[in-house]
Structure 1
Amino acid sequence: MAEEEVDRISFLPEDIKISILSRLVLKEAVRTSVLARSWRHTWTLLACLRLGRHLDPLGDTSKDFDSRPVSSTWIQRVNHLVSSLRGPFLLFELSLLFLLDMVPSNLLQRLLHLLLQKGGVQTLDLCFCYSDAVTQPQPAPFFLNLPLPVPVPLRLHPYHSHKVKVRLPPFHSLKVLQLEGCQLLLPNKFQGFHSLTTLSLSNVIISNLHLHLLLDTSKNLTTFKFVAQDLDLAPDLSLNISLPLLTNVEFRINEMVDKICLVSTPLLEQAYISVRNFESKKLTQVTLGLLTGVSMVSSLRLDSHVLQTLSLLALPFSFSFPQLKCLAFFLNVDTLDKRTCDVFHWLLKSMPFLEELHLKLLSFSKKTEGVATLMRELLVKKQNGISCLDQSLKRVTISMYLLLKVMTGITVVKFFLLNAKVLKLMKILYSGDDDELSMIEELKKVEVASSDAKVVMFNITTKVTVNVK
């Protein structure tokens, strides 16, 4: 007689069942209640909940949730769902697309208090975007290399941050807080999130008083991201940051920001700085102060407008990077002139121990001949007094995916081959449509400063090693 089959699914330990369900979208997790009687209520023990746009559809699944704005009824369903779960929650993520006249702040506040009652929230991620139109196919940007047409939302506004007001309850276990597209209010007699290690405020309206209160009571912060590039309703912000455990910062700012000063951040290691309006004199001074504040980092990322912003100031600058090992930044070749090239050279001089450089070149103009001529005059020549080129720069990666004419980027490649005396590896990333043979021929003509230099070119499908000896 055949041995009876054992019902292994029903006798799985509860923690394994929960682990299995946590890897499913919510709808499928709930459906597992029909597998066996022992699974009936397991889904109510889920500790992580992700809902909203691009996440987990909820309610009417006959339509594509990504293409329809959320309503008050949807928020009510979320509240009912959270009420059905037992908690506590380790992670709660909500990403919503609103019509401009559908912003249920009161229901959202009710949801936050319900999460507080369930207890244990360690990660809270709330993202709000606004649209006054439906989606329809639109041409994709040339640099994405995507088939046409591509569904792109029309008139999507992630910066109407006054539309949703978020008043945070006292989540005592909160470790990660990420907010986008809202107005943040702290409760009366706010005591702080003493366990908070990561704070991300992206296009969030917050008063100077509340922002300083939030930072001053979060002394365990290791990561701070502050994005204000799309804010046009925020008051002018002025920040003095003193966080003894901070290791990673990101600032994306516009002229709404008055000042950001990193007063005491002894453990800071990584920084990313991006500016929106590089012609603003006020923003130029803010950028200068930011770079001074992060001068002790070992890894730094800059966007393409930072060089243009610094080109409005007189050389030399008051900051340097004595500990920097890795630099990554965008360089817009359309905006290159003698002034930005001087800033480019000075930055390299300010980084005497730079070992690794990641450079992304971009251009949006089809008239590149004049740019290429200027770059040949300003860049492709011997440079003196740049310590990192003489002693430390060993790895350079140059990406040319965003260039309309890749041969313009070869000029920058030549600069480093000509001047980096201890260079070990040069990586060139380019599109499969670019003229590979012409690039190789140009590189073979270069007088290479390092006898150990190896040049490797990568496109989408192939890898080519170029002999530049």
Structure 2
Amino acid sequence: MAEVDRISFLPEEIKISILSRLQVKDAIRTSALARSWRDVYTLLPSLRLGCYLDRLGDTSKDFDSRPVSSSWMQRVNHVVSSLQGPFLLFRLSLFMNFVPSNLLQSLLDLLFQKGGVQMLHLHCYYSFYSLKVIWLPPFHSLKVLQLSGCQLILPNEFQGFHFHCLTTLSLYDVIISNHHLQLLLDESKNLTTFMFNARDLDLAPDISLNISLPFLTHAQFQINEMVHKICLVSTPRLEKAHITVSISLSEKLARVTWGLLTGVSMVSSLHLGLDVLKALSLLALPFNFSFPQLKCLRFYLNVATMDKRTCNVFHWLLKSMPFLEELNIELLSISEQTEGVATLMRELLVKKQNGVPCLDQTLKSVTMHMYLLLEVMSGITVVKFFLLNAKVLKLMKILYCDDELSMIEELHKAEIASLDAKVVMFNTKTEVTVNVK
């Protein structure tokens, strides 16, 4: 008895689901299987094209693994032309500078003619010396826009066009004029997530933004001294904020950072990147604002560059967060710690603090990430500070690479304020519970 071809008689939506899990070239090849498969690939709802790992951490699907070229881009246009659209997702990752901007623009225009996309991800790597210039068509159904390594220009008719569906906007090393960026934000009133990275990019002219986004819940800013001002005028639903600054610190950059912090002072979760504390130390303390709703704080602390002013900012942060419950600190030392820094940390950190509400009443969990420390004992100094002062501490986690025995020896000498505190040390292989009572 002949076997029945059950796969060819599957419902169309199941066939589309199967093809969506294949590489594009394999999905197209299925058109030769049987008449019932001939045009199924033209209904693909999403495309992932690119040669290398993209910035989101997902492996892009591609025709082959060779560097992107103009002929490759022409084949992409040919494939997109054969699809019916519109697309739920279109992700394109370009490596190097082999694709002319006009071919890239023709692809965007073709996507617009096909009915647009809901999620557009365009990543151009290693293209900072020859940025791809793109004009963004007014995709009516666009929900997620993520761009990197390109120059974005809005068309003249963009004024008055509203991105009612756009909820996520991510610009990573994207050249855009201040006017066009402000216009893009003004026309996207339903944004819930906004990420702007200009840390490693020279912007011209200076960016000066006023952000009024009533539904914004998550904001991320990576800034350099070319950013003049970012003012969060009205973001009543903002819950999470992430701020990172350039390693080239200046008083101007410190003022921009200070302004950003005042704008996000009502968040419940805050992540401060490397050198934010150092930037704030360039300004006069105390700052006249606090974080009355903050529950979770994560920040970087470079122990090799600690000085008295940085320690004062560290103490101010704790005092300005009266209801802090969870603290994550990424400890690192880019250069070897000097004896002077070690002495300073012992004097300023390992001592009892008075009048810090979160240490007295709310701070229950502290995690120390010590993978990037050149000298582990400097990290133990910070650990001892919280063991000595956090009176309601429940759990102290220490994530480290090596030097376990010396850390345990030091922790056994530590004073502890909380009767319920548990100290757990993790490395890549083991978990060690330390009794510090």
Give the structure-2-normalised TM-score: 0.95
How far apart are residue 318 of structure 1 and its match? 2.1
State whether residues 355 and 393 of structure 1, in contact with CA within 8 Å, keep that contact through their aligned partners in structure 2. yes
- Residue 96 of structure 1: aligned partner: 94
SS in 2 for 1:399: strand
- Residues 1:159 and 2:153 are matched in the alignment: no
Measured at CA, do residues 31 and 405 of structure 1 come closer, stay the same or move farther in structure 2, by a change above 3 Å? farther
Choose the corresponding residue for 1:7, options 5, 8, 11.
5
Measured at CA, do residues 37 and 371 of structure 1 come closer, stay the same or move farther in structure 2, by a change above 3 Å? farther
Choose the corresponding residue for 2:62, options 42, 48, 57.
57
Alignment of 1:311-326 (within 5 A): 311-326=281-296
Measured at CA, do residues 461 and 34 of structure 1 come closer, stay the same or move farther in structure 2, by a change above 3 Å? farther
- Residue 147 of structure 2: aligned partner: 179
SS in 1 for 2:29: helix
Alignment of 1:263-302 (within 5 A): 263-302=233-272
- Residue 427 of structure 2: aligned partner: 459
How far apart are residue 370 of structure 1 and its match? 4.0
Partner letter of residue 444 of structure 1?
A: H
- Residue 38 of structure 2: aligned partner: 40
Name whichever of 243-252 and 183-192 sits farther off: 183-192
Deviation digits for residues 384-432 of structure 1 (CA, Å, limit 9, x no counterpart): 111100000001111101111222211111111110000001111011x
Partner letter of residue 261 of structure 1?
A: C
State whether residues 278 and 308 of structure 1, in contact with CA within 8 Å, keep that contact through their aligned partners in structure 2. no
- Residue 129 of structure 1: aligned partner: 125
Q: Return the alpha-carbon distance in structure 2 between the equivalents of residues 72 and 318 of structure 1.
A: 56
Q: CA RMSD in A?
A: 1.5
Partner letter of residue 78 of structure 1?
A: V
How far apart are residue 34 of structure 1 and its match? 4.1
Q: Return the alpha-carbon distance in structure 1 between the equivalents of residues 298 and 147 of structure 2.
A: 26
State whether residues 96 and 127 of structure 1, in contact with CA within 8 Å, keep that contact through their aligned partners in structure 2. yes
SS in 2 for 1:90: strand
Partner letter of residue 124 of structure 1?
A: L
- Residues 1:306 and 2:276 are matched in the alignment: yes
Measured at CA, do residues 253 and 159 of structure 1 come closer, stay the same or move farther in structure 2, by a change above 3 Å? farther
- Residue 223 of structure 1: aligned partner: 193
State whether residues 303 and 337 of structure 2, in contact with CA within 8 Å, keep that contact through their aligned partners in structure 1. no
Q: State the percentage of identical aligned residues.
A: 73
- Residue 402 of structure 1: aligned partner: 372
How far apart are residue 37 of structure 1 and its match? 3.3
State whether residues 303 and 329 of structure 1, in contact with CA within 8 Å, keep that contact through their aligned partners in structure 2. yes
Partner letter of residue 14 of structure 1?
A: E
Q: Return the alpha-carbon distance in structure 2 between the equivalents of residues 335 and 56 of structure 1.
A: 43
Alignment of 1:255-404 (within 5 A): 255-404=225-374
- Residue 241 of structure 1: aligned partner: 211
How far apart are residue 455 of structure 1 and its match? 0.7
Partner letter of residue 400 of structure 1?
A: M
State whether residues 337 and 375 of structure 2, in contact with CA within 8 Å, keep that contact through their aligned partners in structure 1. no
Choose the corresponding residue for 1:413, options 359, 362, 383.
383
- Residue 28 of structure 1: aligned partner: 26
Report how many aligned residue pairs link the two structures: 428
Partner letter of residue 440 of structure 1?
A: I
Partner letter of residue 39 of structure 1?
A: W
- Residue 57 of structure 2: aligned partner: none
Deviation digits for residues 336-358 of structure 1 (CA, Å, limit 9, x no counterpart): 11110110000000000000001
Q: Return the alpha-carbon distance in structure 1 between the equivalents of residues 28 and 429 of structure 2.
A: 42
Q: Return the alpha-carbon distance in structure 2 between the equivalents of residues 352 and 195 of structure 1.
A: 37
Partner letter of residue 72 of structure 2?
A: W
Partner letter of residue 127 of structure 1?
A: H
Deviation digits for residues 431-458 of structure 1 (CA, Å, limit 9, x no counterpart): 1xx1212111111111110000011111
SS in 2 for 1:49: strand
State whether residues 159 and 230 of structure 1, in contact with CA within 8 Å, keep that contact through their aligned partners in structure 2. no
Q: Return the alpha-carbon distance in structure 2 between the equivalents of residues 423 and 94 of structure 1.
A: 47
Deviation digits for residues 251-291 of structure 1 (CA, Å, limit 9, x no counterpart): 00101111000000000000000010452111111111000
Name whichever of 188-197 and 365-374 sits farther off: 365-374
Q: Return the alpha-carbon distance in structure 1 between the equivalents of residues 418 and 169 of structure 2.
A: 43
Deviation digits for residues 298-347 of structure 1 (CA, Å, limit 9, x no counterpart): 00000121000000111101221000000001111111111101100000
Structure 2: which 5+ runs fail to align? 53-59
- Residue 134 of structure 1: aligned partner: none
Structure 1: which 5+ runs fail to align? 131-157
Give the structure-1-normalised TM-score: 0.88
- Residue 184 of structure 2: aligned partner: 214
